[in-house]
Structures are given as structure tokens and as C-alpha cells.
Amino acid sequence: MAMWRAAAGHLLGRALGSRAAHTSAGSKKIVGVFYKAGEYAEMNPNFVGCVEGALGIREWLESKGHHYIVTDDKEGLNSELEKHIEDMHVLITTPFHPAYVSAERIKKAKNLELLLTAGIGSDHIDLPAAAAAGLTVAEVTGSNTVSVAEDELMRILILLRNFLPGYQQVVQGEWNVAGIAYRAYDLEGKTVGTVGAGRIGRLLLQRLKPFNCSLLYHDRLKINPELEKEIGAKFEEDLDAMLPKCDVIVINTPLTEKTRGMFNKERIAKMKKGVIIVNNARGAIMDTQAVADACSSGHVAGYGGDVWFPQPAPKDHPWRYMPNHAMTPHISGTTIDAQLRYAAGVKDMLDRYFKGEDFPAQNYIVKEGQLASQYQ
């Protein structure tokens, strides 16, 4: 298939069959790493994306004779995850509380065959190492695209309308209209550019159309011409030429070695003074200190998103304390609706894995030593 490219020439020479997903049979040890819900676990029966909910598949797995261990303890040699690495067959993790799967961990995992992401984005895995080891890596493509696109639109409006200082005034018993209005703007008539126009980027552009914005996008591939015309979006081949045109910039590109640190001090300086940036993609795409400095200087009028590096973000992370931000924990893609979609997707892939069947083609990130094109 066109979407698959060799990860590297030396990977193809490895003996892959012994750890490929399609060879699985018998009882399996499956480890899930999710965030802990605590008191909130009982408040919604559809809250399945947490440790307590365990994707709603525990009874199903155990009825088939499989061993299912779920934890939120994922860091360090003494973590619960580390205790099971050597003999687990499947690891399920999530971008919202990622288990970082390094080359060292993959080397220890002698029985590991399958790495599943409950959601979208598998950059928490050392993908070349997974390919070299003959592992299958897959995610639930499309499961939370609507959730993330809606969240991006919300953050654009929150930042443009200077909503958060107004909310804080109310909570603190204050009333100062001027303190909000002096930097509040309409979305209509603004130029919005998305860096990346895949599933989420396209949905965002479609949702922005009714606001009568000028819409730009930069990507390695152009949108279908009919959809591009319908949305009214203009393709920008040169990213650095697009940036100064934009009042709002939204990051919608995956984290790869090429995009890591993509927005550094020099690139941020090319943006229009007073720009709004929204990033629900991955925190490591940004130079952390450069973003904080640009917000402090006023060159960036507002920065919003839900992605950090690392995650969970340390208490001294500079984005917690920079001015004019709309940051939250990583929540955009883990709405209840999204949880139900990615839980169903994980169950479907596990069922196919047990039966020795292929997954939906778009779900593969690593298959038979090859990486999906977006991670090249």
C-alpha cells in the first residue's frame, strides 16, 4: 500500500514473524495504562477511559481466558507497568496519560506483540524500535477527531474574546469591563491558518467557515479540490510565508522527528505580533521556553491547548505561569463520546488480534517493520 514506507533498510532484514500480531494465539497478558478517575469514576457509567473503567473490556477479556492488568503507575523502574513488561503480550495506553515506550522497554518486553493507542497519536512509542522488534503498533484512527476540532474552536474563541480574565473577575468578586474589552476581538474577518490539514485540521476548517474567516492551511498534501473549494480554504506551500498572514494559528500536525521543536524562537518571531496560537497536537512541537517568552513579551497575544511535554506536566512547567494562556490538562480528545469510540475501537482490534485478522488499514502505525507515512 502507498501509505507504507520502509522504516529503514536494516529493519526489513529482521525476523518479524515471531512477534507480529497476526501470529497470536492462546491466553494473553494485556496491560492497560490509563489515568485514574478516583471519586469521578462512579459519576458516569460511560466513563470508560480511566483505570476504573478499563475501557469496559475487562469482563469480555477475562471471559476469554486472558489476564488484564490496568494501572496508572507508569514511570520508573519500580512502577507497576515495569513489573509486567517482561511477560506482557499487549500494551494499551493513551495519549492523555501516556506510557512512554522506549527502546529499552521494548528490548525487555520479550513477549510483547502489540501496542495499542486508545485514541490518536502514537509518538509516546519509539516507533523505529518497535518496527525493528517486529511489533505491531495501531491506534483508533478517527475516534476523537470531532472532539479535538471542537475543542480547538472553543479555545480560539476563548482567547480572542479574552474570556478567562472575565471569568476570573466574576469568581474574585470584581467588575471591570474595560479590563476585558481592551483586548477582546471578533473571529469574523480574521485570518486563521492550520499547520496540518488531516482529519482534525479539515474538520476545524469546516467548522470555521460559518464565522466568515479567511482560511489558510499548510500540509505536505493538498485537500481534495472539491472539499477545498467547499470550505474556501487556500493552500500555503511555504509555512514561513503563511505565518505572518495569520491572526490565529492552529497546530494540527503529528509529532515526528521533523516536527519536534518546529516552532522555536525564530519561527515564532515570523508570526504577526498579537497572534493567537492553539495547539492540541503535541507539546513537543513547540519550544517550551520560546512560547512562554513570546507570551510574556506580548508578541503572542494568547496561547491555548491541552498538550504538554512531558505529561503529566511538572508543577514548575513555564506554561502554567505565562500570561494570557488557555491551557488545560490533556482533555480535548477524551470526552465521554470519544472514550466510547476509542474503547470500541480497541475492543475491535483486540478481537481481530485474537482471531489472527488484520486491523482496518488506517489504524496501523507500524506493521511488519514499516511505519505509516505520517511518521516518516
199 is in an annotated binding site: yes
Q: What is the three-class DSSP state of 34?
A: coil
219 is in an annotated binding site: yes
Sheet of 4-6: strand order equals 4-6, 370-372, 364-367, 136-139, 114-117, 90-93, 29-33, 67-71
Sheet of 325-327: strand order equals 233-235, 214-218, 191-195, 248-251, 275-279, 300-305, 325-327
Whether 144 is catalytic is yes
Q: How many CB atoms lie within 10 A of CB 330?
A: 23
Half-sphere exposure of 191 (CA within 13 A, CB side): 14
User: Exactly one of 252, 311, 324, 370 is catalytic; which is it?
Assistant: 311
User: Exactly one of 66, 105, 218, 282 is catalytic; which is it?
Assistant: 282
145 is in an annotated binding site: yes
110 is in an annotated binding site: no
Longest CA–CA span in the chain (Å) reads 68
Whether 206 is catalytic is no
User: Exactly one of 218, 325, 330, 341 is catalytic; which is it?
Assistant: 330
Dihedral-angle region of residue 162 (phi above 0 means left; psi in -120 to 50 means alpha; beta otherwise): left
333 is in an annotated binding site: yes
User: Exactly one of 144, 279, 324, 363 is catalytic; which is it?
Assistant: 144
89 is in an annotated binding site: no
280 is in an annotated binding site: yes
85 is in an annotated binding site: no
The owner of cell 478481537 is 351
Per the structure block, which three cell numbers stand in for 174? 470584581
Whether 330 is catalytic is yes
255 is in an annotated binding site: yes
Whether 282 is catalytic is yes
227 is in an annotated binding site: no
Task: Cite the annotated binding site for NAD(+) by residue number.
Answer: 145, 199-200, 219, 254-258, 280, 306, 330-333
Task: Cite the annotated binding site for substrate by residue number.
Answer: 120, 144
Residues carrying an active site annotation: 144, 282, 311, 330
Task: Cite the annotated binding site by residue number.
Answer: 120, 144-145, 199-200, 219, 254-258, 280, 306, 330-333
